[in-house]
Structure 1
Amino acid sequence: MKIAVFGANGPTGRILTAQALDAGHVVTAVTRRPHEFPISAPGLSVVGADVYNFEDVSAVVEGSDAVLSTLGVPYSRQPITVYSVGTGNIIRAMGNHGVRRLVCVSSSATDTTAGPHGGFLFEKLLQPLVTKLLGKTLYEDMRRMESAVAASGLDWTIMRPSGLFETDSVTEYKMAVDYINGTFTSRADLADSMLRQLTSDEFVRKNVAVATFSQKPNLIQLLLREASSKKAAPDSVPVGKLS
């Protein structure tokens, strides 16, 4: 299958690209910094493109069988638009070129009423700190993205991980529609869950919670790292940029 991966040079995007190549897919890795992309392999094309530029996006989408998006930016108090505007351009390009399958990454934090993801400390202190203060503008834009995707008419799946962390390989993770009682998601598991959507229609036009249970990072260290991070991810887009 020919797939385009947006946000390919981010931490999840790199894992997703590698897994897709291992699975035999022909991959176009889309990044604003193609010279920094660390993977080189048969079946891989690395393309420099800006998701805010519709012509860039359209050129990548044309000829693809499916589009996977791991677009991301760090927390900021500035307005964030990369999720809604960037994904909006992807949706428009897919419609123009007749590409139906879209799988994109959002977050369990877009719907904190779906169910609990931790104990008292997490629910009453840490989660509100992240969703209502540190990540307020980010999650607002993720919700705009989710609404646009749901209204697109495409064969879409929105992946909602929680507390992303690193594992050496894919684990026996779990998925469920809308909600799963899990606090963390391995990036390797998230990438694998996205690829699984390309060969299954079980979760077409659904929000899918994905969580890792066999391994767990330290919650406090994970949140402190996220909160203190000032550096953008390798493939992040400047916050507040307008289309």
Structure 2
Amino acid sequence: MKLIIFGANGPTGRLATAQALTEGHSVTAVTRQPGDFPLSGAGLRVVRADALDPDAVDQAMAGHDSVISALGVPYTKGPVTVYSQGTGNIAASMAAHGIRRLTCVSSIGVNYQDAPGEALVFRKVIVPVLLRLGRSLYEDAARMEERVRTSGLDWTIIRPAGLFDATTTTDYTVSTVRHPGWFTSRNDLADALVREAVDGRSIGSVVEVITTEGVPGYPRVFLKEALRIGGKR
């Protein structure tokens, strides 16, 4: 399959690119800084483009079967537009080129709901802090989700929890309802992105991806890792 990955130079984007190449797919990795992209090899094409530039997006889009958006930004007090505008440009270009399959990363911080059995300190202390810190980010991610839902494409929105680095892919949980769990490894998120892009398991659905094996200790490193929920994908 011919895949194009936006946000390919982020931690999750790199993992998704590497996995897709290992599986034998052709991948176009889209990044604003192709000189910093660490991967190479047969089947890979690296393209310079900013998702906020509709012309650049359109030039990269043609000839692909499926699109992954791993766009992400750090927490900021300023306005965030990369999710809604960037993904809006991607969706518009897909429609123009007749490409149907879109898989994109959002966050459980959008329309957050408590999971069954979550600790009181998590629900009453940590979550309100995270939602306040990431307010502008989550608001734009919500705008992105609305654009994706109304795009007319064959879409899947993936919502990870607090992102952390791992070394392997686990037997992670994919759910259309809020599932207990505070973390998502980037390996698991990357695997879910590729599986959706290639296999089309959850078309027209918003799904959570939650890691339940080998997660960081709670609460010692919780805030350090959970803050990544809105950070670089």
Please state which band the TM-score falls in when normalised by the shorter chain.
over 0.9
Q: Please, which runs of 5 or more residues in structure 1 have no aligned partner?
A: 237-243
Q: Is residue 171–residue 189 contact of structure 1 (8 Å, CA) maintained in 2?
A: yes
Q: Letter of the aligned partner of 1:34 in structure 2?
A: P
* Shift, 1:187, TM fit: 0.6
Task: Quote the residue 2:32 is aligned against.
Answer: 32
Identity of counterpart residues, as a percentage? 47
Equivalent positions of 1:30-69 (< 5 A) are 30-69=30-69
Distance 2:90 2:4 in 1: 10
Which portions of structure 1, spanning 4 or more consecutive aligned residues, are displaced by more than 4 angstroms? 225-228
TM-fit CA distance, 1:177: 1.3
Q: Which residue of 1 aligns with 2:91?
A: 91
Task: Determine the C-alpha separation between the residues in 2 that align with 1:117 and 1:4.
Answer: 38
Determine whether 1:182 maps to 2:181.
yes
How many residues align structurally?
230
Label 1:59 to 1:186 Cα distance change in 2 as closer, same or farther (>3 A): same
What letter matches 1:195 in structure 2? Answer: V
Shift of 1:111: 1.9
For 2:146, the aligned partner's letter is S
User: Is 1:23 matched with 2:18?
Assistant: no
| Gap runs ≥5 in structure 2 | none
Match for residue 171 of structure 1? 170
Q: CA deviation at 1:193?
A: 0.9
TM (norm. structure 2) is: 0.93
Equivalent residue, structure 2, for 1:195:
194
Residues in 2 aligned to 1:135 and 1:4: alpha-carbon distance in whole angstroms: 28
Structure 1 residues 227 and 65 mapped into 2: Cα distance closer, same or farther (>3 Å)?
closer
In structure 2, do the counterparts of structure 1 residues 186 and 225 end up closer, same or farther at CA, with 3 Å as the change threshold?
Answer: closer
8 Å contact kept, 2:195–2:201: no
CA distance in 2, matches of 1:200, 1:42: 22
1:1-243 matched pairs, under 5 angstroms: 1-113=1-113, 115-116=115-116, 118-131=118-131, 133-220=132-219, 221-224=221-224, 227=227, 233=232
For the structure 1 residues 14 and 134, does the alpha-carbon distance in structure 2 shift closer, same or farther, using more than 3 Å as the test? same
Alignment deviations for residues 105-148 of structure 1 (CA, whole Å, 9 cap, x no partner): 001111213635831111111111011x2100000000000000
Instruction: Supply the distance in 1 between the matched residues of 2:135 and 2:116 (Cα, whole angstroms).
Output: 19
Q: Supply the distance in 1 between the matched residues of 2:140 and 2:30 (Cα, whole angstroms).
A: 21
Q: 1:114 to 1:227 in 2, by over 3 A?
A: closer
State the TM-score, normalizing by the size of structure 1. 0.90
* Alignment partners' CA distance in 2, 1:82 and 1:160: 16
Q: Distance in 2 between matches of 1:91 and 1:136?
A: 24
Say which SS state the counterpart of residue 209 (structure 1) adopts. Answer: strand
Higher mean displacement: 191-200 or 74-83: 191-200
Aligned-pair RMSD on alpha carbons? Answer: 1.8
Inter-CA distance 226–211: structure 2 relative to 1 (3 Å threshold): closer
Give the superposition deviation at 1:226.
Answer: 6.1
Q: Is the 8 A contact 1:117 1:123 kept in 2?
A: no
Q: Which amino acid aligns with 1:29?
A: A
